[in-house]
Structure 1
């Protein structure tokens, strides 16, 4: 027993010394990190060593809870079965159907052709992404153990993706926002759509002669919008509540993650927060102006403490050309290509936000009961070709099954096929190209 205690004290001493001395700062257990900032390899090595030390101490002095371990194994197996895409059955789980029905009033239709996309997958952790401009600072991070990358904005200022430019009269713009409010200060998030003769010059300007501005207060859900033409406010609504932006928990420190979808059709502007349409403005755009700038940013974040920062992050920016009537293509041209039916990564589980597209296609099939279709799934080139072929087949089958189960389209009217990565519509060398290649085609038979 003396040997065990001596060993424990020696290991504990090493652990504390390592925490105090590496990199001149405390190295925390990776499980306790809210986000990763691209630490040096030495830090990563110490993290792993410390985790092993902690696990060894825990195993040495704690009795194993067999009941808890058994329950954990059950939870793990359930999670694996939900995300496993090896099955070719293409069946739709009840959980997926329940989630997708939440979006039953979601009428957003993403643009047909992606002309700008950034998920920061090509940006190193800790760096600022290429193709963006700013008058502030930010860095790409990951949250907990997720592979999704975010642009972490911690200071006042604006951030402008250069690929959102020359906005057509019909376009869609989607992005995810993650916020966590930790200070007691007023905190405001906002984005602009505007015409500019010099986007770099106007990046730092808050108020210009022509713009659409949307903003919301951290955690409170209180939101406002302004339409300005020739320096005059011609439309506004201040202080309306968007429940999706409201934080949870007694201390309001629980984060919120919201998908924002923007849809322009000529002068009309619709904005969605998750499945909820929060704005529908018929005269939001000036027909005489050429809109070419989108910028997003925050105010009053500079008051946040370094060790307890407010968190504002964006990810998955998807900019696409819309079409006045994409669904008629299935009937008039015999083919409809959509990139708006989205799936979980490496999975055939359809994301709930795909409801609007599926509903639109189902409407065409109901209006034309003699039309039969072939549903074809396509993937990008990530992974091996055989797995991608199977994945594309399963995804096509999942689309067929949900059209049958949720929208009551007769099963015998639909065939399915998977092409995998074999027929790309764009280059697989860029994130935007890969996003265009992940698509579903509907062919009239």
Structure 2
């Protein structure tokens, strides 16, 4: 199926006879997709040739993400075969890999079981991000209806919750915006030590016509979370920018002052080898880690910033803002799996002294025992503790939330515990005779299963000293 981005792009594509292939990845609300396309088409003044281009587009309406060309697909297939030969499973439902999908454990009524899988840790060997110990805010938009703006958010613009074929869960879709903020009203405190994570997909980002393609993540100190809502920030704090505009991809980090303006404390990093049109449809995982004045920022396995003095000592961070600028009609961003956690894990003390260590930082593919590579630093910390205490034996116990069938959750929790054991043995050289495994499924919840935060805290792995 041929695909054309804007009226200008249509003209150039048709004149130059350049064919671009698009992926069969579709938003699962075709009615609203058709309505948006029809409205865009009605508002454009185009000639008969360009109109014929739209007719071709409508033959496959809803297919919105670009497909990699034949060579790229062959390379991906070869890489996937190599991973399989190495005993590694690819991510379920998403050939693009990338993000930490923190959705439910078992789809309702599914009962599907998967064998423990070896995670692809190689590229994460220098990844030192350790998620906070206790999840205090979690957002996967599961409580919101498709087509609605999420109930727990505020904005001066618009967005809608969608599902995407081939991707897990629900996503908040942002389209053409100018100085638009999206504020999670349920996040009211950002303490001295916290981690913030989320998944990001962009689509239709084309450098030749990209004036503004940016997402800001700002944490700041303000009297009202929606103060100066058309601005990047409304008080002291810091802002991270994911930028794919005007011929180069880059990320930047900056400090803000009392009025929300930028100070001269700022950094920038070119990433056009990663943030570019070839990665339309890829899941990026963004992680941020605050320790008092210090802020680290990660894009997938890369640590892109580590500023030790970006926050003043007396700051009280109490607001989070996502701010977007998308200049073209077809520009899109999708956000999901937002996770705010607090407290630094103390693996050695809790496991050796207290006899038990519990973590939500080891995460898995949805309905799978396949460990996500973003879990590397947590597993490494546990492995080092076991190496330093060679006589200690542990039992690994898996836990799930209550979504899905109880029997399936029990089986899945056991497989996940076994998968953790196998990774500690194969990746970090821990003697398997020192480790036993078990799983309790949903039978021993750490929190109520009625909220996203409660479910996130119930999806955990427990290490008990024997």
Alpha-carbon shift at residue 87 of structure 1 (Å): 5.8
2:132–2:344 contact (8 Å) kept in structure 1: yes
- 2:144 is the counterpart of 1:118: no
Instruction: Name the SS for the 2:439 alignment partner.
Output: strand
- On the 8 A contact 2:227/2:234 being kept in 1, the answer is no
Label 1:388 to 1:225 Cα distance change in 2 as closer, same or farther (>3 A).
same
Question: Measured at CA, do residues 216 and 422 of structure 1 come closer, stay the same or move farther in structure 2, by a change above 3 Å?
Answer: closer
2: CA distance, partners of 1:364 / 1:133: 44
Other structure's SS at 2:437 match? strand
2:431 is equivalent to residue 410 of structure 1: yes
2:380 to 359, 368, 381: 359
Q: Which has the larger radius of gyration?
A: 1
Tell me how far apart the structure 2 counterparts of residues 207 and 171 of structure 1 sit (CA, whole Å).
Answer: 20
* Displacement after TM superposition at 1:295 (Å): 0.8
Matches within 5 A, 1:20-59: 34-37=26-29, 39=31
Instruction: Please name the residue that 1:283 is paired with.
Output: 309
In structure 1, the gaps of 5 or more residues are: 1-30, 44-53, 55-74
Counterpart residue number, 2:324:
298
Structure 2: how far apart are the matches of 1:136 and 1:244? 31
Could you tell me which residue of structure 1 aligns to residue 73 of structure 2?
A: none
**SS of the counterpart of 2:350?**
helix
Deviations 1:158-184 (A, max 9, x none): 111122221111111100111121443
How far did 1:416 drift?
0.5
Distance 1:390 1:331 in 2: 28
In structure 2, C-alpha distance between the alignment counterparts of 1:285 and 1:277, rounded to whole Å: 18
Does 2:227 correspond to 1:201? yes
Q: Is contact 1:265-1:324 (8 Å) kept?
A: no
Q: Which residue of 1 aligns with 2:269?
A: 240
Which of 395, 405, 417 aligns to 1:374? It is: 395
The residue aligned with 2:45 is: none
| TM-score, with structure 1 as normaliser | 0.76
Change (3 A) 1:310 1:258: same
Q: Deviations over 1:80-134 (max 9, x none)?
A: x97696366x4x44xx3xx222111111111111110011111111011111111
Cα–Cα, structure 1 residues 271 and 364, in superposed 2: closer, same or farther, change >3 Å?
Answer: same
> Does structure 2 retain, via aligned residues, the 8 Å contact 1:174–1:317?
yes
Give me the whole-angstrom Cα distance separating, in 1, the residues matched to 2:233 and 2:138.
27
Provide the C-alpha distance between the structure 2 equivalents of 1:409 and 1:186, rounded to a whole number of angstroms.
Answer: 49
1:229, 1:286 within 8 Å by CA — same for their partners in 2? no
CA contact 1:115–1:320 (8 Å) conserved in 2 = yes
Change (3 A) 1:147 1:239: closer
Counterparts of 1:14-25 in structure 2, within 5 Å, are none
Contact 1:396/1:418 (8 A) holds in 2: yes
Shift of 1:36: 3.0
Q: Deviation string for 1:173-202 (max 9, x for gaps)?
A: 100111121443232221111011111224
Partner residue of 2:338 out of 309, 317, 324: 317
- Quote how far apart the aligned CAs of 1:204 are: 2.9
Aligned residues: 370
- Say if 1:128 and 1:138, in contact at 8 Å, map to a contact too: yes
Cα separation, partners in 2 of 1:133 and 1:38, compared to 1, 3 Å: farther
C-alpha contact 2:232 2:323 (8 A) present in aligned 1: no
Shift of 1:287: 1.9
Match of 1:221 among 246, 249, 270: 249
Residue 255 of structure 1 is matched in structure 2 by 281
Structure 2: segments with no counterpart, 5+ residues: 1-22, 36-59, 61-80, 93-110
Which structure has more helix as a fraction of its residues? Answer: 1
Please say if residues 228 and 235 of structure 1, whose CA atoms lie closer than 8 Å, have aligned partners that are also in contact: no
TM-score (norm 2): 0.73
CA pair 162-38 structure 1, distance change in 2 beyond 3 A: farther
1:171 paired residue number: 194
Q: How far apart are 1:267 and its partner, in Å?
A: 1.1
- Indicate whether 1:86 and 2:113 are aligned: yes
